[in-house]
Amino acid sequence: MNEDRIYERAEISRDFEFNSEVAEVFENMLNRSVPFYDKVIDMTSDILSRFLNSRDIVYDLGSSTGTTLIKVSEKLSKMDLRYVGVDGSEAMIKKSRSRVKMFSHTSGIDFVLSDINDFETKDAGAVILNYTLQFLRPVIRESFLKKVHGFLREKGVLVMSEKVISHDPVINRAFIDFYINFKKSMGYSDLEIAKKREALENVLIPFSVSENIELLKKVGFVHVEPFFQWFNFVSILAVKG
């Protein structure tokens, strides 16, 4: 796994992009930047194993280098499921296609290069939307989630994970500090952390937990339950009625 050293160089001052430089180090970046990343994938598998039927299709919107689908399909190899990853970054799709070739259990996984706003499907058993809604412009999130709700069959599930904020400034500051400490413990320097924050500032716009839950209910999900939270990261299960 290539190590993420992108922000070691102090001169970087452009907005964060999911380009080939990022795709090359992305697994390392996620493991060191998203607390309990692997655990959330494990829990996603547990949820899918409970809610899906044989021959269901699972869509991963913002599938990046394919890690989630590779791990979920391995854990659920006894279920007869199909998987489709969708991502708008050519570099990510290229990387995910080459990665699935390295595993024997991944024959049911396909990747589609598309903006997730333009993607269409129906009768999905599940949609996974991990750490991706936060990159869509806030004004389009409601209509996008409404579309996702329409992708699902009756009783289909959405698993969504997001970075979040608290509207209480004291709690928010504390959670940010805990997150900075997490990144330091993962070997990122103060400079790397500061540069990455700057690069993400206009690109990653987090909502609060309750704003995300409200949106999911508003677009029609009947049951909406957070199943995991680490300070400013949350994972939510939403079930279509």
Q: Residues in the site for ligand SAM, rule: CB under 6 A?
A: 18, 30, 62, 64, 67-68, 87-89, 92, 115-117, 130-132, 135-136
Handedness of CA 151, 157, 161, 164 (dihedral sign): positive
Q: Is 124 buried (19+), middle (13-18) or exposed (0-12) by CB count in 10 A?
A: buried
Residue 90 vs 168, nearer CB to ligand SAM: 90
- The whole-angstrom separation of Cα 75 and Cα 71 is 6
Beta carbon of residue 239, minimum distance to ligand SAM (angstroms, whole number): 20
Residue 68 vs 166, nearer CB to ligand SAM: 68
Q: Are 184 and 141 in contact (CB under 8 A)?
A: no
Residue 59 vs 131, nearer CB to ligand SAM: 131
Structure tokens at 205: 């716009």
Beta carbon of residue 170, minimum distance to ligand SAM (angstroms, whole number): 28
Beta bridge partners of 86: 61, 112
Residue 130 vs 166, nearer CB to ligand SAM: 130
Handedness of CA 23, 28, 34, 37 (dihedral sign): positive
Residue 33 vs 166, nearer CB to ligand SAM: 33
Residue 136 vs 216, nearer CB to ligand SAM: 136
Strand order in the sheet with 82-87: 109-113, 82-87, 57-61, 124-130, 152-163, 233-240, 221-230
Q: Are 121 and 59 in contact (CB under 8 A)?
A: yes
Q: Are 216 and 160 in contact (CB under 8 A)?
A: yes
